[in-house]
Amino acid sequence: MSSIRKSWDRLPENEKDNVKNQIIRFFEKELDEEIGVITAESILNFFLQQVGPTLYNQGVSDSKLALEKRMDDLNYDLDDLIEYQ
């Protein structure tokens, strides 16, 4: 059965499980409070909804700028290859 993923939920399942375990350990170590997997998943989903789209969009913008810079560099490199007669 395939599951429908929400637009803000782009983490693979194994990564989500890893983060949920980290959240559980954080609550135990830093807050001396035990939480379960369901609570950890709710916390993760909340943060994914709140900051996920912003972080994703920032990553796309950063990639776009890096590609634009690389294209400029390639244009200069290609201009250096032009032979003038």
Tell me the mean pLDDT per 10 residues along the chain, length 85: 63 93 98 97 94 91 97 92 81
Q: Residue 8 domain-assigned?
A: no
What is the pLDDT at residue 11? 84
Range of the domain at 42: 13-81
Q: Residue 6 domain-assigned?
A: no
Give me the residue label for tokens 């997997």. 37
Q: What is the pTM of this model?
A: 0.68
State the Cα–Cα distance between residues 25 and 55, nearest whole angstrom: 24
User: Residues 44, 23: contact at Cβ < 8 Å?
Assistant: yes
What is the pLDDT at residue 6? 64
Q: Residue 77 domain-assigned?
A: yes
Q: Residue 11 carries which DSSP code?
A: S
What is the pLDDT at residue 16? 93
State the Cα–Cα distance between residues 53 and 3, nearest whole angstrom: 20
- CA–chain centroid gap for 44, Å, is 13
Q: How many domains does the chain have?
A: 1
State the Cα–Cα distance between residues 59 and 32, nearest whole angstrom: 34
What is the pLDDT at residue 3? 63
